Chains A and B, each alone.
Chain A
Amino acid sequence: MTMLRPFLPVGWRRGALSVVGGLVAAALLGGLAEAYLRSFPPKDLHPYLGEASPLTGPLAPNDDFGAGYRSWEAFQETNAEALARFGEFGRDEDPRPIWAMFGNSFVQAPDMLADTARVRLTDRRIFNLGRNEPLVIRLAQIALLLDHGLRPERIIVELMPLDTAPLGAHPLATYRVTSRGALTYEPRRPAGPGGWLIDHSRLAQTGWVRSGRERGNLAFRPGQLNDGVPPQLLDDLRRVFGNLARATQAHAVPVTVVLIPSYEQVMRGAPRGFQDALAPMLYQQGYDVCDPQAALVRQPDRAALFLPDKHLTPLGNRVLLDELLDHLRGAGVNAIAATGPGV
């Protein structure tokens, strides 16, 4: 106050002192909060902390898919239950050819496509892991399994708009797999002092992440996938599916990609931009593509195809499987499906 006296009028001096008091309070509380967040970062910050993230997992960086399992052993450990159920990849007394199914919960969850196929197909064995993993991990799994002896007659990969949403928000270039095996993302930062602050303060980083501006592709909106696939996402999908195509072709295993339509596309006539963008790319890479949307839309009672959580009902899965089998018959693969109640 004494130092300020010669330069400032009384009101200004008091104002300056109030600002000093305010800054001291903010610094005190901010310092405490910063220390707390450094020791206990909130869960929504974990995927953006890189090596400081407390997340752990079985993953490692992968040139082909951005991230994949660290080793065959890590994969076996993570999927021990499913692998034990299946035995030695079918090299046992069961002579039936194997169909390996990969995808999200529309394939993996109980009573969904894999279970429906297992019940109805009498002349095929269905291999699936029963886990819903991020898309790139799913694709990396396929390459890993082929490298370690899985020789299915056919691989069936499900792909829906929602599978690609995480990759849309976090492009491959932002993937950082930590030394503890967790998938994290390099957050987007503003240039200048804002970026420095985010790098050096957990409080700032938390605020930045909660503002939703940390995503690698800020312009991406999952809702826009029905209208089309943004160029950056399409490039990433071209890269990972191209690498999978090379792996499967090297082992001479055919792959059918099933483009399951979203609930909005079946029930509300949402545009097919996603399928229209991906089908040509997948054909070009040598995949067989099955698009069951017309079969689902044709159903007289479309509401009966979906559960309240928008997964497919037993009827929906049956229609989906029938369409897949019809499609494969066209490609010269004849699987026998049981019919009648209960199957």
Chain B
Amino acid sequence: MNFTELPFLWLLLAVYVLWLLCRGRERLRLGVLLAGSLVFYGYYAPWLLLLLGAYCVVGWAVGLWVARSRRPGLVLALGVGFNLAGLCYWKYTPLALRTLARLAFALDLPHLAPPPPGDWSIPFGISFYTFTGIAYMVEVYRGGLLPEANLVRFTLYKAFFPQLVAGPVLRPGDFLVDLRAGRLPSLPQAPLEATLLLARGFFKKMVLADRIALAIDPFFGHVGDVSTAGVWGLPYVWLYAWQIYFDFSGYTDIARGLGLYFGFRWPENFDRPYLAASVQDFWRRWHMTLSLFLRDYLYVPLGGSRRGPARTYVNLMATMLLGGLWHGASWTFMLWGGLHGTFLVVSRLWSGTPPAEWLARRGGIVWRLACVGLTFQAVCLAWVFFRLNDLADAGACLAKWVSFDAGRAFAGGSGDVSLWLLLGAYAALVIAARRAGGLAALERLASRPVLAALARGFAWGGCAALLLLALLLSPGGERPPFIYFQF
């Protein structure tokens, strides 16, 4: 099920009303949330529930076994191995088959080529619930968490519908502890903030991301054709950078808003990533829960930066390459990860040099802006390999960054004035809201009741209007799914 389709609205309303009605009965609340989550996940493909169920039962059993075993390391390896094997099978079989077939033909051994994978579909959300499962087992193994004895609570930790499909990647400390007996929330948290997150999330996805998609998809679909000859590729990649940001951060906003409505507060996943002044800074601001997961469960166990510069660079590259491969079963995702790894290594090498230190001290705002611009451009370069899963297409797109006809440079969607105006208006609203202090400003007005009442009403009215405008300003017609649903 998708957050932007009508059946989801009915499911959400039903689950929420039942949840409110069961306010005094914790077990019933658990049941309602779990039942809603299972309907959400199995709505279009009920067989997926078997897969999810297997992951939940194994994760729950391994957690208990790790805590009681004399050889917890071995049990942990079995549990992590099960999770990764499942993920690899579902996600990477088509890539493996295609690669083996190419290899067989290249070596002139066509009889060894495996058959093509056919209509292979990856169970949606598998990457995310694999990660939450691994995080849980590792935390129990490290002794930082007691294993969850109740299978229903554990299943809800993995399957709760707002975060099931595309995160944020929740660690046990972010969520499971709130599901423990006696701690399950029975009241919504911060309703105004929750509504603002929902309204902003839907607006980002349905208006901004979907309008950008409509403008740029034809270009990327024909990037190697004569139909895009002479068109300047760079604005399209800029627009894609914003599309994926609005799409994914919109999803996260909705997920976090829904979490607050059910009484759970989950971590931020984005912090104005395109204002990052280095690629290292970018990864502190983009998909933050994944970055932290990769840091704590991959980079640090590999040795992190504790074993000298050379090993640090190897660890960085390995982490980013695996992060890239996690995103999708295509070698272009590896390239995307590899580029980010390279940027991180170069950034580390540069940051220790005397000119870098001098510029950091004396460069001021100009140097800061140059860093932001350069980082954004580097990130855009990598996005090309994220968006285009064919190397020839990616090459054609990059060639169009520098080679274009002045007369046709903005042909197609990148020349759509209405889109740029909309993005400009949204940016102006965000800047105005930040300058006004955001929701925190309401707290500061506590001593001025008239202004506080006006401001609170203003915030609620703004949220309601934004929700309505998400419907009315969306492009209409069939809505593309969230980009991260495929991962």
Residues of chain A whose beta carbon lies under 8 Å from any beta carbon of chain B? 1, 13-15, 17-26, 28-30, 32-33, 36-37, 39-40, 42-44, 203, 206-207, 210
Interface size for B (C-beta < 8 A) is 26
Q: Any chain A CB within 8 A of the CB of B399? A: no
Instruction: Check if B454 sits within 8 Å of A17, measured CB to CB.
Output: yes
Cβ-based interface call for B477 (8 A): yes
Given A43-B475, A206-B472, A210-B476, A17 and B450 touching (CB < 8 A)? yes
B479 to chain A, nearest CB (A): 12
Please measure, in the bound complex, the distance between the C-alpha atom of A4 and the C-alpha atom of B464, giving whole angstroms.
26
Known contacts A21-B461, A25-B465; A207 and B418 CB within 8 A of each other:
no
Interface of chain B, helix or strand or loop or mixed? helix
Decide: B457 and A20 in contact? CB cutoff 8 A.
yes
Residues of A within 8 A of B457 (CB): 17-25
Q: Is A26 in contact with B456, judged by CB distance below 8 angstroms?
A: no
Q: In the complex the two chains form, is A36's CB within 8 Å of B458's CB?
A: no
Contact (Cβ within 8 A) B465 A207:
no
A-B CB pair tally, cutoff 8 Å: 84
Give B422-451 as 1s and 0s: 1 = Cβ < 8 Å from A's Cβ atoms: 100100000000000000000000000110
Q: Bound state CA distance, A1 and B453, in angstroms?
A: 10
Contact A44 B476 (CB under 8 A): yes
User: Distance in Å from the Cβ of A75 to the closest Cβ of chain B?
Assistant: 28
User: B95 contacts which chain A residues (CB < 8 A)?
Assistant: none
B425 and A32 within 8 A (CB): yes
Per a CB cutoff under 8 Å, which of A21, A26, A42, A43 touches B454?
A21
Q: Is there a chain A Cβ closer than 8 Å to B50's Cβ?
A: no
Contacts of B469 in A (CB 8 A): 29-30, 33
Query: Smallest distance from the beta carbon of A207 to chain B beta carbons, Å?
Result: 6
Known: A25-B465, A44-B477, A210-B471. A36 touches B460 (CB 8 A): no
Encoded as 1 (CB less than 8 Å from any A CB) or 0, chain B from 69 to 110 comes to: 000000000000000000000000000000000000000000
Interface residues of B in 350-393 (CB under 8 A from A): none
A40–B421 alpha-carbon span in the complex (Å): 10
Chain A residues near B425: list those with CB within 8 A: 32, 36
User: Given A30-B465, A36-B425, A14–B460 Cβ distance below 8 Å?
Assistant: no
A13: B residues at CB distance < 8 A: 453
Which residues from A are CB-within-8-Å of B459?
21, 25
Measured in the bound complex, the distance between the Cα atoms of B477 and A210 in whole Å is 9
Contact A26 B465 (CB under 8 A): yes
Given contacts A17-B453, A26-B465, A40-B418, 19 further A-B contacts (CB under 8 A): A1-B450, A13-B453, A17-B450, A18-B453, A18-B460, A21-B460, A21-B461, A22-B460, A24-B457, A25-B457, A26-B464, A29-B466, A33-B472, A37-B473, A42-B473, A42-B475, A42-B476, A210-B471, A210-B476
